[in-house]
Structure 1
Amino acid sequence: MRRVAELSAILIRHGLGELVGRIGLEKAMRSAGYVAASPGSGVSNGSTLPRRLRQALEEMGPTFVKLGQILSTRVDLLPPTYIAELCKLRSSVPAIPFLELVEEVEAELGHPLAADFCEIDPIALAGGSIAQVHRARLHSGGEVILKIRRPGIGAIIETDLRLLMRLANVAVAESDEIRRFRPREIVTEFARSIRRELDLANECHNAERIAENFRDMSYIHVPRVHWEWTSERMNVQDMASGLSGTDLDAVRAAGLDLRVIAARGTEAVLKMIFEDRFFHADPHPGNVFYRAGDEIEFIDFGMVGNLARQRRDELVDLLTGVVDRRPEIVVRTLLDWSGAEVEDTAGLSTRIDTFIDRVHGLPLKALNPSALALELITLIREHGLVLPPDLTLAVKAFTSLEGMGRELDPDFDMVAAAQPFLHRLIAERYSPFRLARSARDGVVAGAGLMNRLPSDISDFLNAARRGNLRLGIDLRQVDRLAERFDRAVTRMTMGILIAALIMGSSIVMTVAGGDLPIGVTFFAMLGFFGSIAGALWLLWSVLRRKGN
């Protein structure tokens, strides 16, 4: 309760008091003995709402910084202004002393790290909310980086994850508007992501899988993993060589061809997304190094995406629908992805049709894939639809690549670069081998169904004969329906009791035949007062629900 109150106070200080009220945190603040800060007391003049949200998440601590980073990938849920601001979140935190950092690792190894490395720089090369990075040198002379998990961070994150799920449950119960954003699903996705990130060996498995996929592309590199020292708490990889993608002036000064780099980088990322279906989800300039010979080295594989073959085929369906001007295919694919019902399907089809017509009216080089993707996602968001998490990571990787490509080469054409991959996917999908395999799978599935059909019919008839057939009705939000029904019955019952009290007390007070005993008069007056109190409570209850 105290932690909830602290988080509420931070939100209020940053002018987000309305959010505190909407998700029902005010009661927690009062229960913990906190007095709400004045709304916006920590807000600077001219500060926008997205910026205040980002600043509040930074103040709330590492777990919430990570949550903001996950939300920055959900372009289907948040407007571009929020996405742009949340992308500024960095998990950099003050470094802790090296001796404190390595205590758990050395206990696990059973000996000091100095026995394995001839040199370790105690000054952190980089630091995050989960791990800290230090330079080191092997006895063989090779330079490596040690990525070491912060001590005790696992317990802290698990505590915050439980708290976030409780907050999500409160938000779902209190606000119809917030419920549309599926906070439980967001927290579940976030928990899965951050738990994977806690296992530093998992990042190395990702790196090796991607390196294997690029074994035939000699100009794409991934740092080598040293498994003899890699574990859940620490991973060891070769130091990245070359020039950072954030320093393009140095890249130009070194004589590298930026156009060749842009083309090769694009080919690599599109291959990961469309062919390998396992991709680096955050290919921004800070995660890329450029080497002599216009070669590229990717680093930091903590955030990766994985597309199932069916999802990849659905993506091809959507692109085919755009190319062939068939909005019904696009609408059907979007509805399948979202798993939601849309009341105005005709309106959605009209918007999609208009979008497709505008795309077809532009020449190839005039297309801006990032802007078009964001426009389509805005349209999806306005109709209450959401994208699957794996696709939001693909969109993020795609838009990051497009922005980096244009920075390297102003004439960079993402559409032209993606066309060969799409043509190969469509050709593969309708190849004789693929069609034959689909037909074979259909025949096998049909044969299995026919084989089970007699026993299924027999089970159905036996159940009907024994009277064990059950009809199940799945009502959405049945709990809320029951709650509203219970509240309506309570109000009706109170109304009947109030009316009975008024009528009974009136009859007693007006009964003919002289004076009444003092006790009877007292109970009659008590009935009047009780009916007045009940009527006031009933009125307050109705007005309060309307206000909410």
Structure 2
Amino acid sequence: MLWEALGAARDLGRVHDIAAVLIRYGFGDLVQRLGMARALERAGKVLHLRGQDDIARLEPAARVRRALEELGPTFVKLGQILATRADLFPPDWIAEFGKLQDAAPAVPFEAIRAQLAEDLGDLPENIFAELDTTPLAAASLAQVHRARLADGTPVALKVRRPGIRPVIEADLRLLARLAEIVEAEAPDLRRYRPREVVRQFAHSLRRELDFSAEGRNAERIAASFADQPEIVVPRIHWQWSGERLNVQDFIEGVPGRAVAALPEGFDRRLLARRGARAVLKMVLEDGFFHADPHQGNVFYLPDNRLAFIDFGMVGRLPEARRYEVAELLHGLVDRDGGLVTQVLLGWSDAAEADSESLRADIDRFVDEYHGVPLKQLDFGAMLGDVVGILREHGLALPPDLALMIKAFITLEGLGRQLDPDFDIAGEAAPYLREVILAHHAPDAIAKRGWRGLVSVADLLAGLPHDLARLLRIARRGSLKLEVDVPPLKAFGDQLDRAASRLTMGIVTAALIVGSSIALTVNRSDSVSLIGLLGFVGAMLGGLWVLVSVWRGGR
């Protein structure tokens, strides 16, 4: 099954590595079901389906997390994306995925010198007045070195790990095939949209590998805050930046992880408000936001300024989606269960969902917050509870909304670290009101109406042509109706294999009977040779049937 998908031996080594790790962590049955063991056996590779006792005693979530860590950067990134999907996984799994750290041993500077010189167009020592060969940080995709330009400007060099792209591309091909298998073989998991999740993940990871895309993201966000000097985004030095190298201004400040050690002169409450307004502006006003605003990507600067770094992962929300987000948050704040249910059902796109049961659970949830002042609302916990209700009802969010909710939850956590009385609901209220008013403004309504009329007119104008084409196809007898039923196809394949075994069994039995008659009726040498060859053929046919039955049952 997996072997046919690969189509070539280029991914065989990676398949072996992945299968070995899965088996070591007790997922040998998954390796067998996905056809990985059969693919490796055909290539002459052997796997021992045995786990380790100490690993077997771990909880499933911990085993999955450790397996992802060992599988390498692609799977670590996948785990970090899954950590945002509280609508798919229970809290203990989300907590385990949250432990995945995007860290890796540093590559020696001499191993990246040639790639760095190629990307710079000259030797590093000819470009930079100073260059620290010891990295400040090392992650799965890149490592960061500090340097100083000839004019004295301090910069940070983000260098992609040599040879990382082929490994990631092989992993993405395998993940895409695994998602197809899951959708075909596990109908109850289709509502989680595995192919869509993998497609979005692959797109995000490929863009994250392209450091020039990260630079463009940074410039776009910097432009939106051009009139707000309290928000800092590092400048990109494009003359030395490209796909594998990003040279940007070095940010000297207090990292978000060290918020407890903020020196005197910093206004914690003001920093919390500014950080909240920056993220709310990106999400609800611009529709283009930093999708990973964790503590390591935020710095506190003098004069109560904030700096955001690392724009490899960004989220996008079109205007219609921003209005839906505003409606959801407005419904939560106003405790309107009907509005919240309507938005969630629209997002999950689940026609078979029990809307009455979901509405009852949402009503009970919002009733718990009846009479609670806005300042006492834990907005992050509210959103977490909402996606928990979705998970209980088997509903899943689109990936862009999962990123947005994760950003909101992270934002409130950072705000409350700075100010225990941080009121994100109060900070969000003006932005929500602006989004809703803008959606219902006369010019916005007129624009949507005009677009609708144009679409209807185009449909009506093309209707005669489409009907004429349909009638021509019907007259020629070429009109076809295709119905794809994957389980029925699998059943047909099983019947085909069973018929092949039955036919071979009948042929083998006939050879045995015919050869026996030939040996007993006539004693001539030629007839005896024919009988002997018949027995040999029967033995080979019988062995084929036994091996086929054994492999199929396994």
TM-score (normalizing by structure 1): 0.83
**In the alignment, is residue 415 of structure 1 matched against residue 422 of structure 2?**
no
- How many residues matched? 511
Could you say which residue in structure 1 is the equivalent of 2:391? 381
Could you say which residue in structure 2 is the equivalent of 1:502? none
Given the alignment, which residue of 143, 150, 175 partners 1:132?
Answer: 143
Measure, in 1, the Cα distance between the counterparts of 2:261 and 2:363: 46
Could you say which residue in structure 1 is the equivalent of 2:412? 402
1:425-464 mapped onto 2 (5 Å cutoff) = 425-456=435-466, 458-459=468-469
Given the alignment, which residue of 479, 488, 493 partners 1:481?
Answer: 488
Measure, in 2, the Cα distance between the counterparts of 1:24 and 1:155: 23
Q: CA deviation at 1:173?
A: 4.4
Cα distance, 1:459–1:354 mapped onto 2, change above 3 Å = same
Give the secondary structure class of the aligned counterpart of 1:102: helix
1:233-252 mapped onto 2 (5 Å cutoff) = 233-251=244-262
Could you say which residue in structure 1 is the equivalent of 2:63? 52
Measure, in 1, the Cα distance between the counterparts of 2:476 and 2:367: 57
Measure, in 1, the Cα distance between the counterparts of 2:339 and 2:489: 38
Deviation larger for 377-386 or 256-265: 377-386
Deviation larger for 101-110 or 235-244: 101-110
Deviation larger for 349-358 or 203-212: 349-358
Superposition RMSD in Å:
3.6
Q: CA deviation at 1:352?
A: 2.8
Give the secondary structure class of the aligned counterpart of 1:293: helix
Deviation larger for 92-101 or 455-464: 455-464
**In the alignment, is residue 338 of structure 1 matched against residue 348 of structure 2?**
yes
**In the alignment, is residue 84 of structure 1 matched against residue 91 of structure 2?**
no
1:492-507 mapped onto 2 (5 Å cutoff) = none
Could you say which residue in structure 2 is the equivalent of 1:515? none
Deviations 1:239-289 (A, max 9, x none): 0022111112331x2320111100110000000000001001111111111
Q: CA deviation at 1:170?
A: 3.9
Could you say which residue in structure 1 is the equivalent of 2:9? none
Give the secondary structure class of the aligned counterpart of 2:257: coil
**In the alignment, is residue 260 of structure 1 matched against residue 270 of structure 2?**
yes
Deviation larger for 159-168 or 206-215: 159-168
Measure, in 2, the Cα distance between the counterparts of 1:347 and 1:456: 42
Moved over 6 A (4+): 488-495
Q: CA deviation at 1:305?
A: 0.6
Deviations 1:277-317 (A, max 9, x none): 10011111111111111111111111111111122223234
Could you say which residue in structure 1 is the equivalent of 2:295? 285
**In the alignment, is residue 94 of structure 1 matched against residue 105 of structure 2?**
yes
**In the alignment, is residue 271 of structure 1 matched against residue 278 of structure 2?**
no
Q: CA deviation at 1:19?
A: 4.2
Deviations 1:103-123 (A, max 9, x none): 123134442021111110111
Measure, in 2, the Cα distance between the counterparts of 1:149 and 1:489: 50
Q: CA deviation at 1:25?
A: 4.0
Q: CA deviation at 1:194?
A: 1.4
**In the alignment, is residue 189 of structure 1 matched against residue 200 of structure 2?**
yes
Q: One-letter code of the match for 1:182?
A: R
**In the alignment, is residue 41 of structure 1 matched against residue 53 of structure 2?**
yes
Deviations 1:383-432 (A, max 9, x none): 22211111111111111101111111111122121111111111111112
Cα distance, 1:190–1:438 mapped onto 2, change above 3 Å = closer
Give the secondary structure class of the aligned counterpart of 1:237: strand
Q: One-letter code of the match for 1:297?
A: A
Measure, in 1, the Cα distance between the counterparts of 2:339 and 2:52: 47
Q: One-letter code of the match for 1:226?
A: H
Q: One-letter code of the match for 2:296?
A: G
Deviations 1:135-185 (A, max 9, x none): 101111111011111111112211222232333344444444555543332
**In the alignment, is residue 392 of structure 1 matched against residue 414 of structure 2?**
no
Could you say which residue in structure 1 is the equivalent of 2:114? 103
Q: Is the 8 A contact 2:322 2:435 kept in 1?
A: no
Cα distance, 1:480–1:297 mapped onto 2, change above 3 Å = same
Cα distance, 1:2–1:206 mapped onto 2, change above 3 Å = closer
Deviation larger for 152-161 or 480-489: 480-489
Cα distance, 1:218–1:69 mapped onto 2, change above 3 Å = same
Q: CA deviation at 1:462?
A: 5.5
Q: CA deviation at 1:134?
A: 0.5
1:500-519 mapped onto 2 (5 Å cutoff) = none
Q: Is the 8 A contact 1:272 1:280 kept in 2?
A: yes
Could you say which residue in structure 1 is the equivalent of 2:169? 158
Could you say which residue in structure 2 is the equivalent of 1:514? none
Could you say which residue in structure 1 is the equivalent of 2:511? none
Measure, in 2, the Cα distance between the counterparts of 1:440 and 1:172: 39
Measure, in 2, the Cα distance between the counterparts of 1:361 and 1:474: 54
Deviations 1:193-242 (A, max 9, x none): 11111111111111110000001212101111111111111111010022
Cα distance, 1:490–1:36 mapped onto 2, change above 3 Å = closer
Q: One-letter code of the match for 1:483?
A: A
Q: CA deviation at 1:492?
A: 10
Measure, in 1, the Cα distance between the counterparts of 2:338 and 2:197: 29
Measure, in 2, the Cα distance between the counterparts of 1:191 and 1:88: 21
Q: Is the 8 A contact 1:5 1:34 kept in 2?
A: no
Cα distance, 1:472–1:370 mapped onto 2, change above 3 Å = farther
Q: Is the 8 A contact 1:342 1:383 kept in 2?
A: no
Measure, in 2, the Cα distance between the counterparts of 1:323 and 1:287: 29
Measure, in 2, the Cα distance between the counterparts of 1:416 and 1:459: 58
Q: Is the 8 A contact 1:23 1:175 kept in 2?
A: no
Q: Is the 8 A contact 1:171 1:178 kept in 2?
A: yes
Q: Is the 8 A contact 2:157 2:248 kept in 1?
A: yes
Measure, in 2, the Cα distance between the counterparts of 1:249 and 1:322: 31
Deviations 1:436-476 (A, max 9, x none): 22233233334434444454555556556x3568464655x
Q: Is the 8 A contact 1:95 1:124 kept in 2?
A: yes
Measure, in 1, the Cα distance between the counterparts of 2:486 and 2:442: 51
Measure, in 2, the Cα distance between the counterparts of 1:375 and 1:172: 28
Give the secondary structure class of the aligned counterpart of 2:383: helix
Give the secondary structure class of the aligned counterpart of 1:279: strand
Q: One-letter code of the match for 2:169?
A: E
Q: Is the 8 A contact 1:57 1:68 kept in 2?
A: yes
5+ residue gaps in structure 1? 499-517, 520-532
Could you say which residue in structure 1 is the equivalent of 2:357? 347
Deviation larger for 404-413 or 328-337: 328-337
Deviation larger for 184-193 or 2-11: 2-11
Q: Is the 8 A contact 1:12 1:40 kept in 2?
A: no
Cα distance, 1:145–1:467 mapped onto 2, change above 3 Å = same
**In the alignment, is residue 304 of structure 1 matched against residue 314 of structure 2?**
yes
Cα distance, 1:320–1:29 mapped onto 2, change above 3 Å = same
Cα distance, 1:435–1:301 mapped onto 2, change above 3 Å = same
